[in-house]
Structure 1
């Protein structure tokens, strides 16, 4: 008897590993982010901020208000496995709307450091998603959230010289195996960026029937003769501030 990936009845459900089955998250809207800088900027923009204890693998979590709406933010450990576990536990305890704020390496010359990618589909090279959906499944975000997020990004960007584009994302478990042949091939397929969480999180969101979108600031460029990193640059920091503001505006409208 064969085993079909993405099927089968689980033995352990997310709520079963929590200390208290009565645990509930303090709000249904969440921003997930992976860097200290973006988390700090979320904290600066929220009002009535307080630290909250969530039963998830994360380094910090807060609750606050934005335009009169309660919003939570958490900083999970990076990578598909840790962030997927965090998402599962947040969903199990009542969260329903998510925007993931991350960084990505650009695969195509049309994107430079400081530009913005909104993934609309993804190539799965992480292991998590195959436990939820079959191999031929293509992860996609919430159309409603994507529409609101794109509108907010373009409004906040204004005339600033940065691109906001939609396209494919490549999620990998192995950042030191982002090879030139894959960069060339995936770029031709319309995949514009690479990172480590998006396809796993989009897959789980669809599996659990919650709304989730991802927005990525371009932090480095992989398409040239040499790798061009832009981590910590003023251009990237400026973009990440705009992305955080757009994400907060979008999540309260969702």
Structure 2
């Protein structure tokens, strides 16, 4: 029988960070969940430099954006890897996080190349249940998510790209995103599906750091057939928009 652990963890991220001598150069972190977005964010930074860090990720970089220090990471995909990376970044001094990723659309309100800013999440990944009880509903930091939403709208300008707030469903089982769940979850306001957002929002709340998510719509699950937009020009344009909006938002946001 599963239960939420209450005791002291055997492996503590803060102790591990101390042992490894981990210390971020700044408290602002942008978490980029695709290679394209990580590389594009690096191109936008001044004084950018690839660095090492102790976490399950394929890349880390530091630099300045608009004169403000920012740290970038490209974790491996899936909730366990991104949650572990987040834990180690918090232990190293991260305080404000903007996550930039992709979602599959569950509702025709979103099409490939549109943008979702999650305001709550439906948990079907396993990580979050080790941090919060089953009835917990993960949410981003309200103020940070609000600023991110409006910055995305500002950056996209008059382009015909829809920017929507709503629920996100996170699952570990990529090949079990079944039609019945797509229909059922869409009816209750879940607009997109990924593998990471609810774990990240839950861990951030547990560690009392600020975190918000923005996601480009990469594919559509609500039609008769799976419609894919990976690597298309429309998705690439949107990915650039959300990366710029994330950098603008985090560098204008106080660490408090």
What is the TM-score of this pair, normalised by structure 2?
Answer: 0.96
Residue 145 of structure 2 corresponds to residue 151 of structure 1: no
The answer to whether the Cα contact below 8 Å between 2:95 and 2:210 also exists between their aligned partners in 1 is yes
Task: Indicate conservation of the 8 Å contact 2:4/2:130, yes or no.
Answer: yes
The two structures, once aligned, show a CA RMSD in angstroms of 1.3
Please report how far the alpha carbon of residue 6 of structure 1 lies from its aligned counterpart in structure 2 after TM superposition: 5.3
Q: Structure 2 unaligned runs (5+)?
A: none
Give aligned pairs, total. Answer: 253
Give the distance between the partners of 1:152 and 1:166, measured in 2 at CA.
Answer: 13
The aligned runs of 1:110-189 (5 Å cut-off) are: 110-189=109-188
1:19-38 map, 5 Å: 20-38=19-37
- Distance verdict in 2 for CA 1:114–1:3, change over 3 Å: closer
1:206 maps to 2:174: no
Whether the 8 Å contact between 2:17 and 2:92 is mirrored in structure 1 is: no
Displacement of 1:3 after TM fit?
Answer: 6.6
Cα distance between partner residues in 2 of 1:195 and 1:21: 31
Contact kept in structure 1, 2:17 and 2:91, CA below 8 Å: no
Contact 1:121/1:169, CA 8 A, preserved across alignment: yes
SS for the counterpart of 1:89 is helix
Query: Does the aligned pair in 2 maintain the 1:7–1:133 contact within 8 Å?
Result: no
Alignment partner of 1:241 is 2:240: yes
- Flag the 1:180–1:3 CA change in 2: closer, same or farther, 3 A: closer
Are residues 1:40 and 2:8 paired? no
Cα deviation for residue 68 of structure 1 reads: 1.0
After TM superposition, the score normalised by the length of structure 1 is: 0.97
Q: Deviations over 1:79-114 (max 9, x none)?
A: 000000000000011011100100000000110000
Q: Which residue of 2 aligns with 1:216?
A: 215
150-159 or 113-122, which deviates more: 150-159
The Cα shift of 1:8 comes to 3.3
